[in-house]
Amino acid sequence: MEKSNLPYDVLADFYDRLISGYPYEKALEKVSSVVGRKGIDLGTGSGKFAIYLCEKGHAVVGVDSSSKMLEKARENARLAGVKTVFVQSDVMKLDFTKVDFVTAMCDVVNYLSGIKDFEKLSKKVFSALSDGGRFIFDISSEYKLKGMVGEQFFEDREDLTYLWCNYQQKNQLVMNIAYFIPCGEENYIRRDEIHKMSIYSVDELVGVLEKVGFTVKTYGEKLDKLKDDSKRVFFFCDKK
């Protein structure tokens, strides 16, 4: 058995095919329509947001801590014919430049260690934004993550089989994922990853953001009205 405890070391090769239920089209259009020209995409992953925004005329730097995901992002940018800068860095250690907007899409904030790190990041973003700038991010909601505690999920695909088990540890959902990758006709290589996602209430995040100085609007999973059972929450935060 070969192990990898770094999130996305294995998942990077399958990420774009496995992710489902995320309202990419609506989110991309909405974000592009309300942000300025120059921005940073935190936790850029495979680069989908950064590349789309660049195609719409924005200048975006994509940042991610995973070298494997950045390889995919650079490849995707090349295939799209887009010149986008991608930087490897932990978002908590990043030295921000002055920008018009910062995005952190598809659970980036969940991957922070907790509310203290979120406050630190919010302060850094606020300082980096120009007046009237926007900080836009989304999370998997408290409703969704608490509903996943104790779940086990199995899927057998042609190019990948994986087993996914979840449990709660303090304020985090811990996901143990075992990947079985075909090697020849009858053999598989096993690789393991551990993902930890912090569970936040909407009120505690809004409280931090307003304390930092943002005005905040929240939306549900389809960028519609936020409900108690919304599985995803979008935050549009303005620096006034």
CA distance 134 to 102: 6
Whether the per-residue pLDDT at 5 is higher than 60: the answer is no
Which pLDDT tens digit goes with each residue over 55-68? 999 999 999 999 99
Which residues are CB-contacts of 152 (< 8 A; sequence separation ≥ 6)? 163, 164, 165, 166
Domain spanning 144-198: which CATH class is it, in words? mainly beta
Q: What is the CA radius of gyration of the chain?
A: 18
pLDDT of residue 18: 66
- Superfamily designation of domain 18-140+200-239: Vaccinia Virus protein VP39 (3.40.50.150)
Whether the per-residue pLDDT at 12 is higher than 80: the answer is no
Whether the per-residue pLDDT at 19 is higher than 50: the answer is yes
How do the domains of the chain map onto residue ranges?
Answer: 18-140+200-239, 144-198
Decide if 18-140+200-239 and 144-198 have a common fold: no
pLDDT of residue 3: 53
* DSSP notation for 91-126: GGG--PPPEEEEEE-SSTGGGSSSHHHHHHHHHHHH
pLDDT of residue 184: 81
pTM equals 0.91
pLDDT of residue 20: 63
Which pLDDT tens digit goes with each residue over 117-147? 999 999 999 999 999 999 999 999 999 999 9
Half-sphere exposure of 160 (CA within 13 A, CB side): 17
Please work out, in degrees rounded to the nearest 5, the angle formed at the alpha carbon of residue 21 by the alpha carbons of 17 and 24. 80
pLDDT of residue 6: 63
pLDDT of residue 7: 66
- If you average pLDDT over every residue of the chain, what do you get? 91
